[in-house]
Amino acid sequence: MVDRKQTGRALAVVAAAGVALALAGCGSATTAGSSSSATSSSAGATSGAKTPLVVYSAQGYDSDVTKAFTAATGIPVKLVDDSTGPLLTKVQAEKNNPQWGLLWVDGDTAFASLDQQGMLAPYSPSTTLTAAGQALVPADHSYVPVSTTVMAAVIYNAAKTTTVPSSYQDLTTAPYQGKVGMNDPSQSGPTFPFIAGLMNQLGGQSNGMNAGEAYFSQLKSNGLHVYPTNGDTLHALETGQIDYGMIQSSAAAGEILKAPKSASFDPKVVYLPKATLLPGVIGIDKKAPADVQAEARQFVDYVLSPAGQKIMQDSDPQGDSLFWPIVPGIQASSALPAMPEYQRIDPTFWGPLEGQVNTWFDSTIK
């Protein structure tokens, strides 16, 4: 999910199955590589020859990938590119009449919830994933992991502070008062898995909700700032509103690459034990026509191919391209550190709690 599209995104108008949908984007203009809503079409495809595949995506490289897929297969793609939160809200609103064929966002908790609602068509691609990737594949193959990041990376301005946290609890103490920022889980898709991961770490499945709520209440009492998405939190760091930001690893690594070091701004990153593994995931609409589902399966295969992975790694080099691959033979960008110590939470347990947790966060912490 960089996470994803930030505030101020342009309007996208997407035609699907003869129905015009006017969509207001909810992203921002500050993240490098974040793409606007786009439509891929094939010059060699005759109008009406193939049903367009409607892709809902929050990935910074999605426009380039969909265009390359169309060029390779002749399958036209209509891309709706937005932040993860608004896209998931849209998917739920369309539950009885889906307008999408394929959903591609970060975080398997949302997909586990969609699966439990019977909204996903299972698919098991032929590509063999790494051991880390195989561990992310659900037993019923209802969705497909295609990449990994972690949440959260703690990015801080070393030009303003020499105090570096070694635990999440440190952020609730006096040296960090009023200096910490994070994303809003209702807008930033990667943020709910982070919150769920902390709840899991602090209290497990039996007491995680209570322990997590107590922790974030402590953060709020210590002056926590909440911004819509990664880009907004980074902007707050760059402009001195905060000194520490809890954001997605790809956004943090991208900031290190693109932000010029100066006397007033020197971004560095620390990973606290333990970060939560955040897979990039694709799901196929179970209610889509058979031909659309077949196109979606071809899209998954393309994304997992060497050609698809290369476009993912090249198209947003200071943002979403900074992921740890789970396809054998694909190497992570040299700009990335080694994968930090992480935990994997059970998406089937935490996924259905997303609405409850996000509502509590927005009413109590935000």
What are the tokens at 70?
A: 């169309």
Please tell me the predicted confidence (pLDDT) of residue 260: 78
Looking at the structure, tell me whether residues 223 and 357 fall in a common domain.
yes
Residue 109 belongs to a domain: yes
Residue 226 belongs to a domain: yes
Angstrom distance (rounded) from CA 88 to CA 166: 33
Burial class (CB in 10 A: 0-12, 13-18, 19+), 341: exposed
Instruction: Specify the amino acid at residue 322.
Output: L
The Cα-based distances of 60 to 39, 108, 229, 285, 297 in angstroms read: 15, 18, 14, 22, 21
Residue 4 belongs to a domain: no
Looking at the structure, tell me whether residues 312 and 330 fall in a common domain.
yes
Q: DSSP state, 258?
A: H
Angstrom distance (rounded) from CA 150 to CA 167: 16
Least confident span in 18-22, 146-150, 168-172, 334-338: 18-22
Instruction: Specify the amino acid at residue 254.
Output: G
Please tell me the predicted confidence (pLDDT) of residue 19: 33
The Cα-based distances of 223 to 73, 220, 245, 247 in angstroms read: 52, 5, 13, 17
Residue 173: pLDDT band (50, 70, 90) is very high
Q: DSSP state, 79?
A: E
Least confident span in 13-27, 158-172, 232-246: 13-27
Please tell me the predicted confidence (pLDDT) of residue 259: 82
Looking at the structure, tell me whether residues 143 and 217 fall in a common domain.
no
Q: Work out whether the CA dihedral 193, 5, 81, 71 comes out positive or negative.
A: negative
Residue 241 belongs to a domain: yes
Number of domains into which the chain is organized: 2
The Cα-based distances of 220 to 171, 340, 349, 360 in angstroms read: 10, 27, 26, 13
Q: How far apart are the first and last CA of the chain?
A: 21
Looking at the structure, tell me whether residues 36 and 66 fall in a common domain.
yes
pLDDT tens figures, 206-215: 999 999 999 9
Looking at the structure, tell me whether residues 19 and 137 fall in a common domain.
yes
Looking at the structure, tell me whether residues 184 and 327 fall in a common domain.
no
pLDDT tens figures, 3-47: 444 433 333 333 333 333 333 333 333 333 333 334 444 334 344
Burial class (CB in 10 A: 0-12, 13-18, 19+), 162: exposed
Please tell me the predicted confidence (pLDDT) of residue 36: 37
Percent of the chain topping pLDDT 90: 85
Please tell me the predicted confidence (pLDDT) of residue 16: 36
Residue 3 belongs to a domain: no
Residue 60 belongs to a domain: yes
Q: Is 48 left (phi over 0), alpha (psi -120 to 50) or beta?
A: left
The Cα-based distances of 195 to 47, 183, 222, 247, 300 in angstroms read: 45, 10, 17, 11, 28
Beta strand ranges found along the chain (DSSP E): 12-16, 19-23, 38-40, 53-57, 77-81, 102-106, 144-157, 180-183, 225-227, 244-248, 267-270, 275-284, 342-343
Does residue 229 contact residue 3 with C-beta atoms inside 8 Å?
yes
Q: Which CATH number goes with the domain that contains 142?
A: 3.40.190.10
Structural domain containing residue 111: 12-149+278-346
Specify which residues 28 forms β-bridges with. Answer: 8
Residue 7 belongs to a domain: no
In the chain, what are the helix, strand and coil shares in percent, each to the nearest 5? Answer: 35, 20, 40
Q: Record the pTM.
A: 0.86
